[in-house]
Amino acid sequence: MSKVCSLQPSILVSKNKICNNEKKGRKMIKYATPFNSLNCSLSMNHTSSTKSSTGKFGKFGGKYVPELLVTCLNDLEDEFYKALNDVEFQEELRSALRDYVGRETPLYHAQRLSEHYKDKDGRGPEIYLKREDLNHGGAHKINNALAQAMLAKRMGRMSIVTATGAGQHGVATAAVCAKLGLSCTIIMGRLDIERQPSNVRLMKLLGAQVKSVDGNYKNASSGAVREWVANLETSYHLLGSVIGPHPCPTMVREFQSVIGKEVRKQAMEKLGGKPDVLVACVGGGSNAMGLFHEFIEDEGVRLVGVEAAGYGLESGWHSATLSKGEVGVYHGAMSYLLQDDDGQIVGPYSIGVGLECPGVGPELSYLKDSGRAEFHAVRDEEALHAYKRLCRFEGIFPALEASHAIAALEKLCPTLPHGTKVVVNCSGRGDKDAATVQQLDQLLLFNAMVGKNDTSNSSKQPSLCTDCSDNPSEERISFGTEITKALH
């Protein structure tokens, strides 16, 4: 077991180019075992019940793990595809999604929000929200958590371990473990525990053991891997996003694809045809792939992913992996990730804690490079405004993560022809974020008041004042500093 633990750093991170430290770089490659080096493009004729031979999407994905874990992952892959083709398992899952989760979720016409984006002649797009916030637990995360927990029980693994950032995946996992009689251990960064106390309370109430580690989700995800490796025979690592070694990205995407399948059906019934544009926030990418995957073959449907620009893309304080990342290996798969010149992970940042993932799903990386999907990034302040906008126009509290997708409408909608049908995935509810939003409103107001007569100085963290200056003064109280104090 000590040998496996000693290999942990090498299975987590590897630069896809020669590092300055050649010896260290060779060691990473030596211990990284790719499942298959063959590059094959993403099949547009892929069906969910067809077994992948490589776990690759173009050059992305794969299974870069120590030999000991290859056997575990191969067994998981076999059980996954058996379950997909097991009529009894599928019926049990459909029943639980309907009766326990509350599916299907509505495709809601946001009429007042649509009016907000129309011109003086009443011309503009029509905006619809896929209401994943109405799921049991308040987010899309339970779609995958339920299915994987059922799979774990089918495999005889009665102990579930996972990592969570904002806590939505943690709450979902704790809930389904309680339902299925499984033990549940959730690893969470100390910073995130402080930022999301309500979700921590819920996890504990649901019977989960919550373990804290230093840092945030980046550290928690590594901790969950270590916890799993220490108990391979009895535990099941329940990944919450479309990341990790094969078959994990495919599994999570498959279990989240219920979102897009429902949207297709609902759009045909309510709109008389397919949507024109799909919009989803992107951290690891589970809600985006859940929405997008059903429409990949439909070239007329535009796929728009929205990342977290944090304090700005040039500030170094963001989670925009696809916008600013480089190709490397993180948690056993090749994808875009945030890393420094030595191939070490750079900690992500976002006001939406659930978007703080240093690596993105490999299938999304492929969709970016192939040009099938486009990706944009919005700043913290834009997400805050979008949160309040949806509250006041529609009476809906979006999670700060989903608020990034809603914020993208500000620049997207003016470019769209009249009558364009836009579906935004409202991936979670934001009552968990209400106190945070109130704190940040006060900080924004105070920052604007003291910043009227500032001069530029680039030595401090970037400000998020109204004028979005990248060079706050020494005298100004930096919003970046204050937001860090408030949230951390």
How high is the pLDDT of residue 441? 75
Same domain, yes or no, for 280 and 427?
yes
Same domain, yes or no, for 300 and 411?
yes
Residue pair 355/308 in contact by the 8 Å Cβ criterion: yes
Same domain, yes or no, for 261 and 364?
yes
How high is the pLDDT of residue 456? 39
Residue pair 105/135 in contact by the 8 Å Cβ criterion: yes
Which CATH number covers residue 287? 3.40.50.1100
How high is the pLDDT of residue 166? 81
pLDDT digits over 358-399, tens only? 999 999 999 999 999 999 999 999 999 999 999 999 999 999
The reply to whether 364 falls in a domain is yes
The reply to whether 154 falls in a domain is no
Question: Can you say how many angstroms the Cα of residue 88 is from the centroid of all Cα atoms in its chain?
Answer: 30
Same domain, yes or no, for 416 and 453?
no
Same domain, yes or no, for 425 and 455?
no
Looking at the structure of the chain, the number of domains it has is: 2
Q: Which amino acid is at 323?
A: S
Same domain, yes or no, for 317 and 460?
no
- Cα(168)–Cα(469) distance, rounded to whole angstroms? 33
Q: What's 177's DSSP letter?
A: H
Angle at 45 between CA 41 and CA 50, to 5 degrees: 90
Q: What is the three-state SS of 188-251?
A: EEHHHHHHCHHHHHHHHHCCCEEEEECCCHHHHHHHHHHHHHCCCCCEEECCCCCCCCCCHHHH
pLDDT digits over 1-31, tens only? 333 232 233 334 444 432 333 333 322 322 2
How high is the pLDDT of residue 465? 32
Same domain, yes or no, for 362 and 461?
no
How high is the pLDDT of residue 446? 60
Q: What is the three-state SS of 290-355?
A: HHHHHHCCCCCCEEEEEEEEECCCCCCCCCCHHHHCEEEEECCEEEEECECCCCCECCCCCCCHHH
- Cα(392)–Cα(318) distance, rounded to whole angstroms? 27
Same domain, yes or no, for 330 and 306?
yes
The percentage of the chain sitting over the pLDDT mark of 70, rounded to a whole number, equals 80
The residue ranges of the chain whose pLDDT is under 70 are 1-53, 444-488
The reply to whether 58 falls in a domain is no
The reply to whether 412 falls in a domain is yes
Same domain, yes or no, for 429 and 469?
no
Look at phi and psi of residue 122 and say left if phi exceeds 0, alpha if psi is from -120 to 50, else beta: left
Cα-flanking dihedrals φ and ψ of residue 349, to 5°?
-145, 140
Q: Which domain holds residue 276?
A: 103-137+253-433
| Three-class DSSP category at 367 | helix
Q: What's 33's DSSP letter?
A: B
For the entire predicted model, the pTM comes to: 0.83
How high is the pLDDT of residue 165? 87
The reply to whether 97 falls in a domain is no
The reply to whether 326 falls in a domain is yes
Tokens coding 283: 């951290």
Same domain, yes or no, for 427 and 452?
no
Angle at 166 between CA 460 and CA 231, to 5 degrees: 115
Same domain, yes or no, for 260 and 362?
yes
- Sequence-distant (6+) residues with CB within 8 A of 35 are 54, 55, 62, 63, 64, 70, 73, 245, 246
- Cα(66)–Cα(338) distance, rounded to whole angstroms? 23
How high is the pLDDT of residue 461? 40
The reply to whether 467 falls in a domain is yes
Same domain, yes or no, for 319 and 351?
yes
Residue pair 192/158 in contact by the 8 Å Cβ criterion: no
